Chains A and B, each alone.
Chain A
Amino acid sequence: MNNSLMVNIARFILLVFLQVLILNNINFAGYINPYLYVLFILLFPFTGNQSLFLFLSFLLGMSIDLFEDSGGINAAACLVVAFIRPHLLRFSFGISYDHQNIRLSATPFGAKFSYVVLMVVIHHFILFSLEMFSLSHIILILKKTLFSSIFTIVLVFLSLSLFSRKYR
């Protein structure tokens, strides 16, 4: 338990710094940036305290906002995906999520893929909608959501396979 706490704190700090110092400066093709920090929300223990999880997700988004000067858009997006995560987990992994402590690395690829894609796309869509803050930019919002999501999803799977621990 204690080990898991330390891992999550370290992951939180590392992801914030990685995001603001490196990933926010990529600007591929002018505006495409990956938002890898959602990895924290994706990997937070499934059976952990839900209230704490909501609060930490808010704090994560707020730290990014502080660096990016973007008000509260990252905080809002993180909060929403954290709130709907139990539903998405049930959707992607079936009922097994309710009964046992499954690990992301030990799940079938299809289920993992749908979980990651749904979380990332919802997060990005809320993020960019709040950033533009007007429906007249809907095409730009969808465009940014699409390209940034692809970028983020690729990075998420790369880091999952890089840092996955082998069992048995």
Chain B
Amino acid sequence: MEVFVQQLVNGLTLGSIYGLIAIGYTMVFGIIGMVNFAHGDIFMLSAFIALIFFIFLTSWLGIGSIAIALLIVLVLAMILTSLWGWAVERIAYRPLRGSFRLAPLISAIGVSIFLSNFVQVVQGARNKSIPPMVNGGITLFEDNGYAVTLAYKQIIIMAATAVLLTIFWYVVQKTPLGRAQRACEQDRKMAALLGINVDRTISLTFVMGAALAAVAGTMYLLYYGVVSFSDGFVPGVKAFTAAVLGGIGSLPGAVLGGLIIGLVETLWSAYFSIEYKDVAAFSILAIVLIFMPSGILGRPEVEKV
């Protein structure tokens, strides 16, 4: 029982990170119908940006308070990763609108390979680790000498996910930008005729996705304290799984899917085998796509001839 509750807590934390990445996938897929394959690598890049800023703030500027440093790192990482997201969309995806269907996906794979090797070239191939930023936690209950703890960093991660999901959900549902996004999602040509700047709306969607990936990257660094250039691929695929599982195009669905994937992964590692945890996640992707393509909260796709 204690082990189960502890794994539940860990799974929800991991799932929150997946959920944050998944929102970027789901928004981009919703609006232009492409899998932004490079999103996982944007996440990895943001973790590196956060890492460098964190070292810069603590050892060069000597900021003592971890809370302030973390907040500054988060804001800076969000801004700079957004710039990357914007640049990637501008260079690699925008010229391809109206090209054949697989062109954006192939371009995205190219960006993904480029980004991970770019980071390898400029930052080296070794794992980069930093001392833990936030220590300690709350002991929820103790039984048979096994204490179930909720670490402070886990609280930060879950709270950040909840707050950001609320903010972004509000943006998509209630603001003019969100309305423009949903209009482009339904019919891009019609939206353009009605005076919506389609290119700008799509750019902003990428920027929002990248900003959320930056939060996920910072949280990943906070949680594990280690990052390497190849860390984008597997979390990226798992987050995509989460987006599909939750129903592509739905923001709460993405976070819900992320939480489920996180739980499955941790519980699978705890009770079955840790070696096959990625196999479990990848199998969920295949099973969901084959048997339940519209996901939990998504709308069924209508085939237009």
Chains A and B form a bound pair: no
A residues at B contact (CB < 8 Å): none
